[in-house]
Structure 1
C-alpha cells in the first residue's frame, strides 16, 4: 500500500541531525480531518498509542467548568461495543496499560501494548470517538466520584493554594478555571450538556492520533483508514480569543488551613509555547531552582536555610499562562523575609545577566531533560502529541538550537519583561481555621 491511499495523505518530515533520535516521524491526514503521527521503533516489542483532543478548561465557560474532565471519566463507562469496565479488562487481559488526562488545552488517552496487539487501542479509540454511551446511571455515579476528587484536592495544601493562585492570576481568560471544575458547576452539569460537548469536540478533525513503537506504518495506516475514515467531520466551536488586561498591581492570596507547614507560591505570567520567549523560561527555571548552585535554591535552602523545598513550574500552553515558584518554608521561618529574598533574587537576575558558567549549566540541564523526555515509546507519544495539539510537533526539532542560541542578555531581558513585582500573584497558606483572602496591592 503506497502513501497515497484513499482517504489520507502523508509526507515524511525533515529532521536536523541533532534530533536523530526522533527521526522517522511521518505525518498523515484522513479526509475527515484526523491527523496521524507515526514513528517506527523496532528496538522493543512495544507500541504506544495516544489520541489527543483539542479541548480542555480553556474551552469552558462559567456554569460548565470541569465538563471536559468529567467527559474524560465517562469515556471509560461504556460504548455501543464495550460494556462498562470492558476497556480496562481487555487492556489488562492483553498485558497492556491505559490511562487518560485532561489539562487546560487538551484531553488525551493512551494505551501501551505488546507489538502483536497494538490494534486493540485503535479499535477502542475509534469506537469511543463515535459511539460513547453516557448511561444515565453511570453519569450520576461518576459525578459523585469527581465530587470526591474535589474534596480530596481541597484537603491538599498545595492543590488548594495552586488553584487559588491560578484563579486570581487571570481576570478574563478561562485559564482561571480549575481543570477539575468547581463544585457548584459540577453538581449542575447535565447529561445533555455533556453529550453536546462530546459531539462538538470528539470528532476526527479535532483529534491527533499518535503511534510510536514496533509496527509497520503501512499496516497501521490501513487499520486507521478502516476504523476512523467512516467517522464524520464535526463542527468544532472556535475557542474564544481572550487577552488579559495588563497587570498593574500585585495580587495577593492568603489561605488558612489546618497545617503544620506553611506554603508559598509566587507566580508570574509566562509566554505560550508559540512565543519565542518560551525558550528563555526553560533557562530561567533551571537557573533559579535546579540544584545547590541555582540562585533561589542556593540562597533559600543552602545559604539562609529558611526553606526545606523549592521548585519552579512552567509548562507548554496554547495561550500565555504562568511560571510559578513554589516554596515550602521551615515552620519557624518568617514568610515576609522569604518573599523579600525571592524578589531580591529576581531583581538581581533582571539587572545582572547569568554568568557564562550559570548559562552553560542551565543549557546542559535543559538539553539533558529534553533527551530524557523521549526515553520510552510512551514518552515520545506524549511529547509529539502535546506539541502537535498546541502548535506543531516540529517544535522539538527547534528546541536544542533555540536553547543553545540564547544569550545571558536575552534571558535577562525576558525576565525583566515578565517579572516585575506588580505582575506577580503571591499566594500564602498558613495554619489556621479555614478562610481565604484575596487582594490587589
Structure 2
C-alpha cells in the first residue's frame, strides 16, 4: 500500500507497507541535517493478559539490555558518541522507541535499534536487576499525587476495559514474572507486522525504504516462535481487536474521591467518553471544544473559575485520540472547599455549550489557537516523527500522508452547529466521571 498525492508539498508524507509487513511513514526534510526515527509497536497495556500486567513496560526496559551481538548499554553509548539522543515509552496501545542522529548515521543507527527490538536476548541476570528498577518506579508512582489522580480517573472511567489498568502493572504481579514469560511476550508482539516506523529528516525515500527493509528482515521471531493468543492467556480475542468489543460506558454521574497525606491543593477531573480513532473528525471537533472551554485566559472556564471567582488555581481541558474511546477531560487544581461549586459550574458550562451556539469570535479564536499549536508542536523532525508514527500506528494514513493540510482543513471546517451537535453527542451534564484527590483530613 502506498498513499501519495499527485502534487507533493512539504506537508505530505509517503506511507508504505513493506513486503515483510512493517509500515513505513517517510517525510523528507532536506533543510535539516538530521534523521529522526520513531518506531511504534502494537504492544502496550491493552495487549497484556491479566497475569502479565506491566509486562510491556518492563520489556521496554529490557530491550536496552542487548542481544547476542549488542552488549547491555552499548546502544546508548553508540548514540551518545554520535551526539544523538534516544528514548522510549509505553502506554495502553503501544510501546515506542525513538532516536535522532546525524542523517549520515541513519542506516547504521537503525540497524542497531532494529537488532535490539527483534532479537532481544533478555538475559536472566539483567532481568532480575531491572525488575528492582521497575518496582521502584511503581513505588515512586504510588507516591506521586498527579499519577494517582490520573490512575484513579482511568479506573473510574474505564472500569473493566484495559485502559483502566496501570501501564506500570503492580509489584505483586511483576514479582512473579520470569525471563521466559517476557521472551514469550516479546516473540508474540515484537514482530515487523506489528510495527510502524516513521522517518523524518534529510533521508531520501529510497534510502529509508532500503534501510528499513534490510534492518527488519532479519528477525529471529519467525512464525514457528509466534505464540497464539490462547498460549499467552488472551482467550480467543485477537491482538488487533482486543478491547474493541467491550466499549466502555459511563452510567450517570460517578464520583470517586481519594486522600493523600502530603497534598496541599486538591486535584479534580471531570471526564466524558469520546470517539475512538475511527471517528477522527469528531475527535478534532472535541479538541476545538476543549479550547473554547479551558485553553487561554479568555476561555470560558479560565475566565470564570480562575479570573473572576478565584475558585481554582488552574483549570484546563483536553482530548486525545486513541485506538478505543478517548477521554474528554476538564481538570482543576483547587482548594477542597471549592470542589462542589466548581463541579456545578463546569456542568452548567457543558449544558450551555450544548444548548446555545458558540459565538463566531470564540470559534475563530479556538481554530486559530489549535492550528497554531499544531504547527508549533511539529516544528522539529523529532516531533513530526512522533506524530506520524503514532497516528500511523492507529491507521490514520490520510492524516499522515497530508498531515498539515488535512488537520488544518478539518479544524477550519467546523461550524457553531457542528460543535453544538458534538457537545450533545459526547458531553452530557448528567453523565460523566468525577475523580478527586484531596489532602488527608
Please give the residue correspondences for 1:152-301 in structure 2 after superposition, counting only pairs within 5 Å: 152-231=140-219, 237-238=238-239, 239-240=241-242, 241-244=244-247, 246-258=249-261, 259-275=263-279, 276-301=281-306
Alignment correspondent of 1:438: none
Please give the alpha-carbon distance, in whole angstroms, between the structure 1 residues aligned to 2:218 and 2:134: 33
Residues 15/432 of structure 1: CA separation in 2 closer, same or farther (3 Å cut): farther
**Contact 1:255 1:430 (C-alpha < 8 Å) held by counterparts:** yes
Gaps of 5+ in 2: 229-237
User: What is residue 387 of structure 2 aligned with on the other side?
Assistant: 383
Q: CA deviation at 1:245?
A: 5.6
Other structure's SS at 1:328 match: strand
1:111 aligned residue: 99
Deviation at 1:333, TM superposition (A): 4.2
Where does residue 314 of structure 2 map in the other structure?
Answer: 309
Can you list the C-alpha shifts for 1:263-294, whole angstroms capped at 9, x where unaligned? 11111111112213112111111111111110
Give the deviation of 1:104 after TM superposition: 1.3
Task: Quote the Cα distance in structure 2 between the aligned partners of 1:110 and 1:246.
Answer: 34
Give secondary structure in 1 for the equivalent of 2:57: helix
Q: Tell me by how many angstroms 1:114 deviates.
A: 1.0
Post-superposition offset of 1:165: 1.0
Distance 1:133 1:281, change over 3 A: same
Cα deviation code 1:288-342 (max 9, x no counterpart):
111111011111111111111111232120110211111001x374211111111
Offset at 1:423?
2.3
Structure 1, unaligned runs of 5 or more: 1-9, 434-441
Aligned to 2:328: 323
Task: Return the alpha-carbon distance in structure 2 between the equivalents of residues 53 and 98 of structure 1.
Answer: 16
Is 1:31–1:229's contact at 8 Å kept on the other side of the alignment? no
Say if 1:96 and 1:111, in contact at 8 Å, map to a contact too: yes
- Which of 416, 423, 434 pairs up with 1:415? 423
Q: Distance in 1 between matches of 2:290 and 2:142?
A: 27
Q: Please state whether the residue corresponding to 2:10 is helix, strand or coil.
A: helix
CA RMSD of aligned residues (A): 1.9
Query: Deviations 1:84-143 (Å, cap 9, x if unpaired)?
Result: 111111111111100001111111100110122112321112211321011112112211
Q: Which moved more, 1:295-304 or 1:182-191?
A: 182-191
Task: List per-residue Cα deviations over 1:329-377 (Å, max 9, x = no partner).
Answer: 1x37421111111111111111112101101111111111121222111
| 1:51 CA drift (Å) | 1.1
| 1:81 alignment counterpart | 69
Which is further off, 226-235 or 317-326? Answer: 226-235
Q: Following TM superposition, by how much is the alpha carbon of 1:161 offset from its aligned partner in structure 2, in angstroms?
A: 1.1
1:340 paired to 2:344: yes
SS of corresponding position for 2:50: coil
Task: Name which of structure 1's ranges 415-424 and 353-362 shifts more when overlaid on structure 2.
Answer: 415-424
After the TM superposition, list the runs of 4 or more consecutive aligned residues in structure 1 that deviate by more than 6 angstroms: none
| Of 73, 90, 106, the match for 1:102 | 90
Distance 1:393 1:120, change over 3 A: same
Residues paired across the two proteins, number? 420
Cα deviations by residue, 1:70-91 (Å, 9 ceiling, x for unpaired): 1111111111111111111111
SS of 2:264's equivalent in the other structure is coil
What is the rounded CA distance, in whole Å, between the counterparts of 1:372 and 1:28 in structure 2? 27
Q: Which stretch has the larger CA shift, 297-306 or 224-233?
A: 224-233
State the Cα deviation string for residues 217-236 of structure 1 (Å, max 9, x = none): 22333333332223366558
Secondary structure of 2:35's aligned partner = strand
The TM-score normalised by the length of structure 1 is 0.90
Change (3 A) 1:11 1:169: closer
Which residue is equivalent to 2:132? 144
Q: Is the 8 A contact 2:250 2:273 kept in 1?
A: no
- Taking the TM superposition and a 5 Å limit, the aligned residue runs for 1:62-77 are 62-77=50-65
SS in structure 1 at match of 2:97: strand
